[in-house]
Amino acid sequence: MTVEVLAHSHLVEWGYPVVPDEMVGFAMRGDDGKLCALAAVCYVAKPADPKLPGGWWANFDSKGPVSPLAHRYAIKVRDALRDAGVRVIYAIADPDIPTAPKWLSRLGLSPWHEDVWRIELVVDAASRRTAGLG
């Protein structure tokens, strides 16, 4: 299993119809070299559904079982966004994936509205120092 910094080419390789301009995350490849998971947090100013807020939206997609390594990298991405000044991240708990709520809660997200989850990121003194802010 290898982990790569997420690039537009990963989303194209996966077959995503729309590739956002602003995103952070990672891609995972199996021992066969094929993509097996993508984790992206993208800025969406105006979601297609007008009931949803604009902001940073997290998405995770996998083919097959999810490696525990994915959770560790997702925590790193979440913390990097916090240190960069992002205050809220949203995600949709896919009702077709029974483990989605458990995965989101392990990342600190909570149910917010219908199937939308969110986390409010708090910058503490230690993370401010890490980010060079004080």
pLDDT at 131 over 60: no
DSSP letter at 54?
Answer: P
- C-alpha 106/C-alpha 7 separation (Å) is 25
Per-residue pLDDT band for 93 (boundaries 50, 70, 90) equals very high
pLDDT tens for 22-49 read 889 999 999 999 999 999 999 998 888 8
- C-alpha 1/C-alpha 68 separation (Å) is 11
Set out the domains of the chain in order of their start, with CATH numbers.
2-130 (3.40.630.30)
Q: Do 60 and 73 form a contact (C-beta atoms < 8 A)?
A: no
∠ CA 48-52-58 to the nearest 5 degrees?
85
pLDDT tens for 52-84 read 999 999 999 998 888 889 999 999 999 999 999
